[in-house]
A and B are shown apart, each in its own frame.
Chain A
């Protein structure tokens, strides 16, 4: 789980995991209570269906020792929460709710208010997907592509301002994550790991740092507002063949890029400026040609060669 590790937290790791997993939702608590209920009062099948797997989950996935042992063999710190998916939380809660609503004494019209009461109790135990405060979730998408209209607009501006079939850009993190979903003919100068590394100060090994030196500078400009001398900036732009900076309008690097580094504004959207750098040595990106590789392949692949 991001930010918590079994090495640091020991036996407390699973409890922190469960707390973070549940957030402000109570469904796991209901799950535990209902497992105990069916273990004590359930029919034989209900005990087999829910209580027995619940007990085994307690001995494994929910066991404080389990993640410590597992982590010795596989690094599961960031993904341990997925083991909690094995617990049949939704089937158990839905089964309990349905059994309650459809009891014999609630037959007929009396079941309806009971149904709504259980439904309300379930809603009150959780947080709706479009709860207020979640900026990354909106009830209505702006277009059929389900990305902001700005993504489409940035793509159009970049292609209209570039002669290259595969222009390269560097953007703010949100645009970086969405631009290539819509238009993968626009290349990006830096990977997600480089962005997150800059934001969280993650240390990479020396080889990676050396390989990414040029693009890391651009990430630092974008994310950390670092002002490099012009020769280093130009070296990075030329070395990575980056043509465009897509910058939010309120970002402090706008002045640095336009006034100091000489980039030209070629377009703007509602919240972003698209700035162009004129590459001095235009090393056009081309897709590698695999034809020679295919020609060397034997039967039956050779049948497909032209």
Chain B
């Protein structure tokens, strides 16, 4: 069963790239001159995507923070040096998403932490020792390496100046300062072994505890919005003198040893690559990892280069291969934006096409049968109120039951599709209902069939309003699609997410400006398209 899932899952991911390629080629050939043409092209792209492609590539995944990305790049360098073929690792999302990707065979290996597996991924099984974790993973066809050498556990930190002023060096010292404001990452507040354990073991009296994105907490600390944050022991910030890590004097925090997780079927098929990957075991110390994180977060080096440099210093014999890989794989800004644009366009384009194909007929039916119409409008309206992130996660559940891949482009397109429905359905209904009764009656009295009335009179008359709805949906989609990066769908969200986690504002701007630019282009495109779709007679303003 596993290998089936794996093949199918791979197809869909490859297809995404096939779509992108097909799209760009078509776009230049045919342009957007005729809506029918665009639709046909998008359908073709979908079909090409579904037929597809199967091969034996090696794939690695990463979570959306620099350390995970650096480690994944190391895996890629090592695998490529050992003759493995495959794309650069992809940051697919948070722990849950990367784990799913591994289970479903979208990726073959990634680096996780023993504490995360115990406390989050397999929490319901109440595992305590590494041996138990190993057994539980094996029953799912997943193998676990020994520690790569460092323990990236949670820690508690403050600004050095503030800690010195208050004389705080240990976590137990915090009990003397009940007014301190705590700002913790969401996972830290939720996990039983983190904040709840800390609070009860140390008897911490603080009540002002807020949860926020980890990367943002550092800024909040600098601004004085919070006094205390949770951090990871390998955080780049700890390498500087600005922060003080408080000693866990009661030993509450569990071990989060970095380990390689990989699929058993992959290990059997490619023993030579796995052997190469496992050379990392025991090679990276906590200080080393801190230093590597600093190079990405503070020095703004790209993860692939930081990873390669480390491997060259650690395994000098790999130098020629890795330098070769630098030359081949270093991507320029234009190339990066180009790829992100294609990914982004295919997310927006495919979802929008599907929404038009479903939304306009739904609008027509809703305008005709008003009772049913109210139900349809209420339903698409409710979807609109679900926060984008929640919708993405909610979609993962049914998709994984259907054994369709639950990460990547497909769920993102599905979510965007659902979001596009409201403006399209609503505008179709409004457009049809605002046709003057005299015109409608004339069409009936002529003896036109109801389909002909719709085709030759009602839809053309409503076309301007319908087009406005589609345009709204398209522009909103360009923005929403950036969230696709959270589940590995690529697009402009990827540089934005990476920029947020590595505090690299250049990367954030790269994604944000591109998305804003694309929104403007889409807007103009639809205004041009209106000239073809909206009948000339409706654009005449000089009456009488």
Asked if A pairs with B, the answer is no
B binding-site residues for A, Cβ under 8 Å: none
Interface set of A (CB-CB < 8 Å, partner B): none
